[in-house]
Amino acid sequence: GQQLNQSPQSMFIQEGEDVSMNCTSSSIFNTWLWYKQDPGEGPVLLIALYKAGELTSNGRLTAQFGITRKDSFLNISASIPSDVGIYFCAGQPGGYGGSQGNLIFGKGTKLSVKP
């Protein structure tokens, strides 16, 4: 089945540093979503991308939908302690003509921030 390769698996950074993570796939996606999950909680939607090449920001977060529609990246600038958590990319496969909405998730990037 379709899979998303998300990297890195984990990051341990200093407060104030910038962070970059990405997802790649062998298949085309028509939507890329980035979520953050805290322990024991549900994933929270951070950024949604719908067009190839689209670059979208949400505060200190910036994400891009790759031109090939097979990849996406998420950047976090000037990290702070509350950025700690697991970040997931999720793609909605293309080709269903809008009839199905299931998401395929990456394995996540665990971010730890040292004050």
Partner 1 sequence: DSGVTQTPKHLITATGQRVTLRCSPRSGDLSVYWYQQSLDQGLQFLIQYYNGEERAKGNILERFSAQQFPDLHSELNLSSLELGDSALYFCASSNRPGGSYNEQFFGPGTRLTVL
Q: Which residues bind partner 1 (CB under 8 A)?
A: 30-31, 33, 35, 40-45, 48, 50, 88, 90, 92, 96-108
Q: Would you say 30 or 62 has its CB closer to partner 1? A: 30
Minimum CB separation of residue 50 from partner 1 in Å reads: 5
Minimum CB separation of residue 18 from partner 1 in Å reads: 26
Minimum CB separation of residue 91 from partner 1 in Å reads: 11
Q: Would you say 98 or 115 has its CB closer to partner 1? A: 98
Reference 103, options 87, 90, 86; nearest CA is 90
Minimum CB separation of residue 44 from partner 1 in Å reads: 7
d(CA 28, CA 84): 30
Q: Would you say 3 or 20 has its CB closer to partner 1? A: 3
Q: Answer whether 70's CB lies under 8 Å from 8's CB.
A: no
Q: Would you say 81 or 96 has its CB closer to partner 1? A: 96
Reference 35, options 70, 87, 74; nearest CA is 87
Dihedral sign, Cα of residue 66, residue 53, residue 86, residue 82:
positive
Reference 12, options 90, 96, 111; nearest CA is 111
